[in-house]
């Protein structure tokens, strides 16, 4: 393990750039995993790590020591606590970081199973939470329009808590092209003519779920793809739900129906 104590070190500058710059992540094709849980999730999923970095305090933690032992001959950097805080993508440094390559998911073709479409979701916490929910609900394909936050940014990864490693995440997708010929329902949430309550819908077959940005909702282009509109019943005095909560309710109502039908 290589010990580093200077901010002028090239490795420190590189890690700091990955933590803070979307442009650097795009140009290098790599990103940071922050925290023992996320690094462990990557290892459990067989996701290849390029290198790890640990803080002095992190070395004292048994769970981080176990990860280091598991990584074997993987390149490893030991940073002083102040340096680790400098390169950490979060306000409360976790003690361990890992560098991974950002996968290049191909444009999905011939989609036949349920799929999640996110249109302009810009909040990193919301995006990561929705990706984790999709993974928990058993979905495999996620399509993100160009207006979404960078799916593989450290903050989205941290919120996703390992869900990324169970999904095929397609960014900058032209959704109309991807869903051309889709055999199932294409559903959006919202009020409007012909909207049905979620719990009255038959969700046992494949569904392409469309969810829009936190404030603006779906763009006109994506909304026009829907062949059905659903509304989540809310008997309480609340006008709307956070997009993450709405996605979770819809996806797990589909899980419930499919389980009752013996399909999940």
One domain, residues 131 and 245: yes
50 located within any domain: yes
Question: Which of 206, 215, 198, 223 has its CA nearest to residue 145?
Answer: 223
One domain, residues 126 and 76: no
DSSP label at residue 217: B
Average pLDDT (235-256) is: 91
* 238-253 CB burial, b ≥16 within 10 A, e <16: eeeeebbebbbbbbeb
The count of structural domains within the chain is 2
Average pLDDT (108-119) is: 93
pLDDT tens track for 145-175: 999 999 999 999 999 999 999 999 999 999 9
Contacting residues for 174 by C-beta, under 8 A, at least 6 apart:
none
Q: Is the pLDDT of residue 264 over 70?
A: no
Share of the chain above pLDDT 90, in %: 84
Question: Which of 219, 199, 217 has its CA nearest to residue 260?
Answer: 199
- Of 52, 69, 101, the last residue of a domain is 101
The domain containing residue 42 runs over which residues? 2-101
pLDDT tens track for 173-232: 999 999 999 999 999 998 777 889 999 999 999 999 999 987 788 999 999 999 999 999
One domain, residues 123 and 49: no
DSSP label at residue 238: -
């Amino acid at each position: 393990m290589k010990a580093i104590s200077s901010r002028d070190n090239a490795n420190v500058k590189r890690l700091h750039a990955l933590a803070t710059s979307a442009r650097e992540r795009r140009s290098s094709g790599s990103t940071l995993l922050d925290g023992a849980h996320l690094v462990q999730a990557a290892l459990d999923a067989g996701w290849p790590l390029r290198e790890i970095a640990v803080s002095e305090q992190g070395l004292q933690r048994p769970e981080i020591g176990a990860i280091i032992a598991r990584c074997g001959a993987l390149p490893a950097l030991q940073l002083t606590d102040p340096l680790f805080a400098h390169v950490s993508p979060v306000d409360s440094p976790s003690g361990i970081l890992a560098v991974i390559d950002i996968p290049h998911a191909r444009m999905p073709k011939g989609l036949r199973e349920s799929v999640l479409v996110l249109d302009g979701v810009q909040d990193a916490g919301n995006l990561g939470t929705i990706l984790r929910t999709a993974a928990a609900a058993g979905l495999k394909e996620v399509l993100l329009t160009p207006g979404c936050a960078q799916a593989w940014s450290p903050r989205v990864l941290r919120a996703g808590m390992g869900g990324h490693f169970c999904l095929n995440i397609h960014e900058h997708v032209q959704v109309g092209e991807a869903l051309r010929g889709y055999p199932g329902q294409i559903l959006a949430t919202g009020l409007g003519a012909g909207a049905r309550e979620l719990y009255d819908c038959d969700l046992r077959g494949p569904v392409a779920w469309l969810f829009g940005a936190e404030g603006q909702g779906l763009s006109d282009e994506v909304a026009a793809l829907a062949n059905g509109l659903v509304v989540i019943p809310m008997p309480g005095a609340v006008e709307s739900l956070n997009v993450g909560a709405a996605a979770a309710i819809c996806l797990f109502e589909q899980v419930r129906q499919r389980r009752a039908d013996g399909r999940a």
